Amino acid sequence: MIVLVINCGSSSLKYQVYDMSTETALADGLADRVGINNGTQAILKHRPVGKPAFEVEEPMADHTAAVKHVFAALTDPEHGVLKSLSDIAAVGHRVLHGGAKFSASVLVDDDVIQAIKECIVLGPLHNPGNLQGIQACAKALPGVPQVAVFDTAFHQTMPQHAFLYGVPWEYYVEHNIRRYGFHGTSHRYVTLKATQWLRDVKGIPVEDQRVVTCHLGNGASMAAVKAGKCIDTSMGLTPQEGLLMGTRAGDMDPAIVGIIMQMKGYDPQRIDTLLNKESGLLGLTGVSSDMRDVKAAALADPPNSRAVAALEVFCYRIVKYFGAYAAALGGLDAIVFTAGIGENEPMVRERTTGKLGFLGIGVDPAKNAKVDKSQDVIDISAEGTTVSTVIIPTNEELMIARDTAEIVAEKSV
């Protein structure tokens, strides 16, 4: 079964094609600057496996236009990986916000589209683009089943005491103001791997497992997972809560919002941009949102003091959540690092675990420095520690493709 995975941002469209008989990726790519200046600066980068990559610079006024170019690339005689579009058996879409309506992936129908629309108020930056992607594919591939995979779904098992904010009850009941959590597809993917590994290698039954998963990319979040189910996570109603991120502030006193708005005369949109796009590593350092640049600036001679401070804040927040989640879980069996920083940055893993010996956590300096990427689950724990520290490379696209193939197979039984 050939499954196309689509991840539509507000001005981008990422895609990946899988042959699910072997779970191998055939191609991936990115259409960027879609709809910006009427799409006149749009560019499609297509990377077929085993063939040379190529780029198309054509106007893409909206996601429907971008999808057309993606399909042309996929079936191109020279660079394509499909004989025809009819090879595509199903399309899986990443959807940011499913509110409290979706605790698992679903086959898209009119009711699902309506529910995604209703969640636009909770995910105004992403859900409209996600919907456009679904609608563009429905138009281009009539009759081909489409599946929505929600970033929020994995966290729907959070108990009420973890998801309620301390605002008046009616805001929760009438306006759905509560914590939802994000990066759920990634947390679920690494949880599945960690769960199997803890059972098979460490002999811990799934029902007893206590795991903290750390998705540390440009966006960053942590989840407390008990018996394979999420019981808490660091992001909230929106992806702005929790850890310090590339450009997001994360946890802060909510009164700051009103104070800055008054001080600077900002409207809600401007303050949202400040806290979402101009804060975090970028805002603190003034150098970059990218951890590689921040680290280079912090380690330069002389060191950039703002970069040093930003790194300390970034790591300290993670340490605090480890403590919080160890308490929430009643102890720990494993911590999992994943995503760009989690998988690739030994210094962050070292600094976030270095002082947690009292919890039974510790990494082996040699294993941490030179990660053996041939494994699915890379154990970097120090000798004698009681909590396993592992790196598990995430694969959200594969998770979406698996959900899509499974749901479509169930439907056709």
Give me the active site residues, please.
Answer: 151
Taking CA 348 as the corner, what is the angle to CA 331 and CA 254, rounded to the nearest 5 degrees? Answer: 75
Does position 345 interact with ligand ADP (CB under 6 A)? The reply is: yes
Residue in 141, 339, 387, 408 binding ligand ADP, rule: CB under 6 A: 339
Minimum CB separation from ligand ADP for residue 169, in Å? 34
Minimum CB separation from ligand ADP for residue 351, in Å? 13
Q: Do the Cβ atoms of 143 and 125 come closer than 8 Å? A: no
Does position 219 interact with ligand ADP (CB under 6 A)? The reply is: yes
- Beta strand pairing call for 334-338 and 229-233: unpaired
Place of tokens 């009292």: 358
Residues 142, 143, 144, 146, Cα dihedral to 10°: 90
The residues in 3-22 that bind ligand ADP, with binding defined as CB under 6 A, are: none
Minimum CB separation from ligand ADP for residue 345, in Å? 4
Does position 123 interact with ligand ADP (CB under 6 A)? The reply is: no
- In the bound state with ligand ADP, the residue whose beta carbon lies nearer, of 150 and 314, is 314
Q: 63: closest CA among 28, 11, 120? A: 11
Q: 58: closest CA among 74, 78, 38, 44? A: 44
- In the bound state with ligand ADP, the residue whose beta carbon lies nearer, of 345 and 364, is 345
- In the bound state with ligand ADP, the residue whose beta carbon lies nearer, of 138 and 347, is 347
Residue in 292, 355, 370, 373 binding ligand ADP, rule: CB under 6 A: 292
What CA–CA distance (Å, rounded) separates 281 from 164? 28
Site string for ligand ADP, 229-248 (x = CB under 6 A): -----------------x--
The span of 22-30, 97-105, 203-211, 289-297 binding ligand ADP (CB under 6 A) equals: 289-297
The span of 17-25, 53-61, 86-94, 211-219 binding ligand ADP (CB under 6 A) equals: 211-219
The span of 15-23, 152-160, 235-243, 340-348 binding ligand ADP (CB under 6 A) equals: 340-348
The span of 83-91, 113-121, 127-135, 284-292 binding ligand ADP (CB under 6 A) equals: 284-292
- In the bound state with ligand ADP, the residue whose beta carbon lies nearer, of 69 and 248, is 248
3-class SS letters over the chain: CEEEEEEECCCCEEEEEEECCCCEEEEEEEEECCCHHHHCCCEEEEEECCCCCEEECCCCCCHHHHHHHHHHHHCCCCCCCCCCHHHEEEEEEEECCCCCCCCCCEECCHHHHHHHHHHHHCCCCCHHHHHHHHHHHHHHCCCCCEEEEECCHHHHHCCHHHHCCCCCHHHHHHHCCCCCCCCHHHHHHHHHHHHHHHHHCCCCCHHHCEEEEEEECCCEEEEEEECCEEEEECCCCCCCCCCCCCCCCCCCCCHHHHHHHHHHCCCHHHHHHHHHHCCHHHHHHCCCCCHHHHHHHHCCCCCCHHHHHHHHHHHHHHHHHHHHHHHHHCCCCEEEEEHHHHHHCHHHHHHHHCCCHHHCCCECHHHHHCCCCCCCCEECECCCCCCEEEECCCCHHHHHHHHHHHHHHHHHC
Does position 340 interact with ligand ADP (CB under 6 A)? The reply is: yes
- In the bound state with ligand ADP, the residue whose beta carbon lies nearer, of 196 and 344, is 344
The span of 111-119, 144-152, 233-241, 337-345 binding ligand ADP (CB under 6 A) equals: 337-345
- In the bound state with ligand ADP, the residue whose beta carbon lies nearer, of 35 and 340, is 340
What is the size of the binding site for ligand ADP (CB under 6 A)?
12
What CA–CA distance (Å, rounded) separates 7 from 161? 32
Residue in 106, 291, 310, 356 binding ligand ADP, rule: CB under 6 A: 291
- In the bound state with ligand ADP, the residue whose beta carbon lies nearer, of 2 and 336, is 336
Minimum CB separation from ligand ADP for residue 248, in Å? 11
Residue in 106, 212, 223, 341 binding ligand ADP, rule: CB under 6 A: 341
Does position 118 interact with ligand ADP (CB under 6 A)? The reply is: no
Minimum CB separation from ligand ADP for residue 263, in Å? 30
Site string for ligand ADP, 294-313 (x = CB under 6 A): --------------------
Minimum CB separation from ligand ADP for residue 46, in Å? 19
Chain contacts with ligand ADP (rule: CB under 6 A) = 217-219, 246, 290-292, 339-341, 344-345
